[in-house]
C-alpha cells in the first residue's frame, strides 16, 4: 500500500463518517420535533349510566327475538366498547333478572343448551 492509496482510503472514510453523522442528525431532529408537538389523546364517550342499566335498556327496547350476541352487538354500537366476557355475563344476568320478575318481562323462545345462548323475546302485555 502506498501513500496515494492511504489518502484515498482516508478521504472515503471521512465521506462515510460525515454522511453517517448527517443521518443521525436528521433522525435526532425529527425526534426532537415530535417531542415538542403536543400529543393528542383519544377520548371515548363516558356514559353516566352503569353497564347494567345500559344493558337493560337495550334489552327492553329490542324488537323481535334476540340472543346474547345480538344485545352485545347493540352494546358495542351504542358505547363503542367491545363486548367482553364481563359484558356478556352482565347481559345474561339481566336476561335472567327480567325473566324471573313478577310478572316476567321476557319469554324464552328457545332454551339455550351448553354454551349456546337461548333465544328470547320481550313479553307484550
Grid coordinates given for 21: 453523522
Assign residue 64 a region (left: φ > 0; alpha: ψ between -120 and 50; beta: otherwise): left
Tell me the fold of 51-122.
Answer: Arc Repressor Mutant, subunit A (1.10.10)
Q: Would you state the pLDDT for residue 125? A: 64
Render pLDDT for 9-59 as a digit per residue (tens, 0 to 9). 889 999 888 888 898 999 988 888 877 777 666 666 666 778 888 888 888
pTM above 0.85, yes or no: no
DSSP state of 61: T
Residue 4 to residue 1: CA distance in whole angstroms:
8
Amino acid at each position: 500500500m502506498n501513500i496515494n492509496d492511504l489518502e484515498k482510503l482516508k478521504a472515503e472514510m471521512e465521506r462515510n463518517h460525515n454522511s453517517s453523522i448527517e443521518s443521525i442528525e436528521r433522525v435526532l431532529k425529527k425526534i426532537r420535533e415530535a417531542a415538542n408537538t403536543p400529543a393528542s389523546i383519544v377520548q371515548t364517550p363516558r356514559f353516566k349510566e352503569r353497564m347494567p342499566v345500559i344493558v337493560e335498556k337495550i334489552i327492553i327496547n329490542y324488537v323481535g327475538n334476540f340472543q346474547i350476541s345480538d344485545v352485545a352487538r347493540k352494546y358495542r354500537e351504542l358505547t363503542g366498547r367491545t363486548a367482553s366476557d364481563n359484558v356478556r355475563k352482565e347481559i345474561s344476568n339481566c336476561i335472567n333478572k327480567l325473566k324471573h320478575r313478577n310478572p316476567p318481562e321476557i319469554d324464552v323462545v328457545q332454551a339455550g343448551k351448553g354454551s349456546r345462548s337461548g333465544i328470547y323475546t320481550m313479553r307484550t302485555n
